[in-house]
C-alpha cells in the first residue's frame, strides 16, 4: 500500500473551470446542482482559514463570517464553492452580494456553511431553474478528477437563455 501524496496548499491551487454548454449532458454518471451567482472561492479550513478568489486574490478579509465558519471545520481541507446571498426563495442575488454588508442583511451569520446536494435528473432541475429565473445548472461527471485551474468537460455550466453574461462586473 502506498501513501497518498500530501494535499496541495491553497496557494498552489486554482479553481477547476467549467465548460459552457447549451444542452444538458445525457447519460449515466452526471450529477446536477443549481448554478449560483456569486464569487467563486477556494477555502482552506481549520485553525488558520483562508479564502482565495478565482483569479488568485486573497479574499480572506472580504468574508469574515465565512472565515469564522471555516475555522470550526477540521484543518487540512480545501473547499471549492460559490459565495452568494440568497433571497427569500433561495435564489442567488449578485447585486445584494456585491453591495453587501452580510451582517446587516443576515443578522448573526449562520454557524456553518450551506451544503448543496446534487440530483441525477438534470432535465427536471433545469426546468425548475427556468421556472424560477435562476442562472442555470452545473453538471459534474461522477468520478471525475478535480483539475486545478483547468477547463474540463467533466464540469459544465448550462445557463438559461437570457441569463446575465459573464464579466458584467469588474472591480
Query: Residue 20's beta-bridge partner residues?
Result: 157
Q: How far apart are CA 105 and CA 117, in angstroms?
A: 25
If one counts every other C-beta atom within 10 angstroms of the C-beta of residue 151, the result is: 11
Q: How far apart are CA 52 and CA 67, in angstroms?
A: 11
| Cell numbers that stand for 3 in this block | 501513501
Could you list the active site residues? 35
Residue ranges with strand state E in 22-159:
30-34, 39-44, 50-53, 78-83, 136-141, 151-159
CB-CB contact of 79 with 104 (8 Å): no
Q: How far apart are CA 41 and CA 60, in angstroms?
A: 10
Amino acid at each position: 500500500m502506498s501513501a497518498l501524496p500530501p494535499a496541495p496548499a491553497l496557494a498552489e491551487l486554482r479553481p477547476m473551470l467549467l465548460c459552457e454548454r447549451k444542452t444538458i449532458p445525457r447519460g449515466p454518471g452526471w450529477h446536477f446542482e443549481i448554478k449560483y451567482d456569486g464569487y467563486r472561492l477556494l477555502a482552506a479550513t481549520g485553525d488558520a482559514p483562508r479564502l482565495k478568489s478565482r483569479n488568485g486574490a486573497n479574499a480572506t478579509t472580504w468574508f469574515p463570517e465565512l472565515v469564522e465558519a471555516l475555522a470550526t471545520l477540521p484543518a487540512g481541507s480545501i473547499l471549492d464553492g460559490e459565495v452568494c446571498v440568497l433571497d427569500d426563495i433561495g435564489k442567488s442575488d449578485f447585486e445584494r452580494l456585491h453591495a453587501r454588508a452580510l451582517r446587516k442583511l443576515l443578522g448573526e451569520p449562520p454557524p456553518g456553511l450551506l451544503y448543496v446536494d446534487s440530483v441525477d435528473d438534470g432535465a427536471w432541475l433545469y426546468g425548475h431553474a427556468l421556472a424560477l429565473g435562476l442562472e442555470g445548472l452545473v453538471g459534474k461527471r461522477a468520478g471525475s478528477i478535480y483539475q486545478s485551474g483547468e477547463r474540463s468537460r467533466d464540469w459544465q455550466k448550462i445557463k438559461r437563455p437570457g441569463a446575465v453574461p459573464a464579466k458584467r462586473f469588474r472591480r
